[in-house]
Amino acid sequence: MAEVRTAHTADLDAGTLNAARVLLGGAFAGEFTDHDWEHCLGGVHALVWEGAELVGHGSVVQRRLLHQGRALRAGYVEGVGVRADRRRRGYGSAVLGELERVVRGAYDLGALSSTEEATAFYAARGWALWRGPSSALTPAGVTRTEDDDGGIYVLPVSLPLEPSDELTCDWRDGDLW
């Protein structure tokens, strides 16, 4: 029997955080960097436990996205992963369900950058592909991030969005989206 728990980063002990970091390293086949892990911290985590074993994780952190001249408070989803031997049991949906609850209760919109393998998963849950150009507000000014075009998804919450317009994210180390 699996259990989904949510907690802020500040309320998780070092052992749980380490277990989440290890799980994501495996879920992303070793392609999960220290910057990727840093992006998961400082917000709300959804954790799937089978007894004492962590088998699923995701988090939502606050970011600012610029759209049509407005700075929007975005719940940005990071580090969604399920242990390979526990996939196709609904754990990813359970994680995302909790993160979507947080997004709908606290943010103007949800946003995430998807791997190619997960696009159908997000689309089936109502996340919309952002069709417009993407950019980042960098130390050098607004810079296009065309490599991220076609992989950004949004979950509208309280504001109308025009998904063919530009969407600009705030600056951070590592992957900008």
Structural domain count of the chain: 1
Q: Is residue 177 part of a domain?
A: no
* Helix segments in the chain, DSSP class H: 14-27, 34-40, 91-106, 119-124
Q: Is residue 175 part of a domain?
A: no
Q: Is residue 174 part of a domain?
A: no
Output the domain CATH number for residue 163. 3.40.630.30
> Residue 30 CB: number of other CB atoms within 10 A?
7
Q: Is residue 58 part of a domain?
A: yes
pTM: 0.95
Q: Is residue 106 part of a domain?
A: yes
- pLDDT tens digits for range 61-119: 999 999 999 999 999 999 999 999 999 999 999 999 999 999 999 999 999 999 888 99
| Kind and range of the H or E run holding 76 | strand 70-82
The pLDDT value given to residue 30: 83
Taking CA atoms, 101 is separated from 9, 38, 45, 106, 147, in Å, by 17, 22, 12, 9, 29
Q: Is residue 138 part of a domain?
A: yes
Q: Is residue 98 part of a domain?
A: yes
Q: Which domain holds residue 165?
A: 2-169
Q: Is residue 176 part of a domain?
A: no
- pLDDT tens digits for range 30-51: 899 999 999 999 999 999 999 9
The pLDDT value given to residue 1: 79
The pLDDT value given to residue 125: 96
- pLDDT tens digits for range 129-169: 999 999 999 999 999 999 999 999 999 999 999 999 999 99
